[in-house]
Amino acid sequence: MQNIAILSDIHGNLQALEAVLADIERQGADRLICLGDMVGKGPNSVEVMDLLLSECDVIVRGNWDELVARKQDELIFRWHADQLGEARVAQLDELPFSFDCLISGRHIRLLHASPQSVFHRVQPWDPIEKRLGMFEFTPSLTEPLHPCQSPDVVIYGDIHNAYVQHLEGKTLVNVGSVGNPLDMTQASYVMLQGQYGSVEQAPFRMQLCRVPYDIEAAVQAAERSDMPDIKSYVRELRTGVYRGLQKSEDEG
């Protein structure tokens, strides 16, 4: 049995990432896979990206990774791109869209948001047809194992809300967010256990993991920077409430 740790949506939160990596090390992970959004929102995108590039076996592209790489005419993305520098921004733009693998005879597909796009958001309460669409083939996928067969398990990030659902014999998993969780104020990741690369059916386990971290240290790091939208970011860290909902509550 191998341990395969899967994390996503770090968003420049170095304190949360360090806590998660320490927990992953305690569990003895054999592989580390990142489902994107290494950068943006938080102040430490440089440190986060460099650490993940050194530690991860696979990193796929998230929507913020793409926005920072390609939308530098907008202030918030330009600020993060300026911190990263041209070489790192170029690396963001070259990240693959998805990654397929076999674990204990199961075809696993890993991506950021959906097979359609890094911007196509799928929530656990969406109609079942939309959730089953996560198992479809689209040309955007990066070298899928079996283009004519849908995967057994799809694991994604993007929505910052960890969950597992079984749908018509398939399993849909969201790993939640390391650096910007919006379901509770603890970092989230998934640990898989199984025979990596094996076509033979074998035991397969999955664990949703939550890790507390020093939120106030992350807040202080943001407040020491001159990054855009600090207030919304800090409130998300402290409350786990999405900034769009914060605005609605303030207006109400």
Mean pLDDT, the chain, as a whole number? 95
Q: How many domains does the chain have?
A: 1
User: pLDDT for 121-130, tens place per residue?
Assistant: 999 999 999 9
Banded model confidence at residue 247, pLDDT cuts 50, 70, 90: low
**Higher-confidence residue: 147 or 92?**
92
**What pLDDT score does 71 carry?**
86
Q: What is the 3-state secondary structure (H, E, C) of 130-176?
A: HHHHHHCCCCCCCCCCCCCCCCCEEEECCCCCCEEEEECCEEEEECC
Q: Does the pLDDT of residue 252 top 70, yes or no?
A: no
Q: Does the pLDDT of residue 251 top 60, yes or no?
A: no
Q: Does the pLDDT of residue 250 top 70, yes or no?
A: no
Residues 20 and 247: their CA atoms lie apart, in Å, by 30
The range of the structural domain enclosing residue 61 comes to: 2-251
**What pLDDT score does 51 carry?**
98
Token readout for 171 is 């399993």
Mean per-residue pLDDT for 133-156?
95
Which range has the worst mean pLDDT, 74-78, 164-168, 175-179, 188-192? 74-78
CATH number of the domain within which 148 lies: 3.60.21.10
Q: Is the pTM of this model over 0.85?
A: yes
Token readout for 206 is 């999955």
Q: How many CB atoms lie within 10 A of CB 71?
A: 13
Q: Does the pLDDT of residue 83 top 80, yes or no?
A: yes
**What pLDDT score does 148 carry?**
87
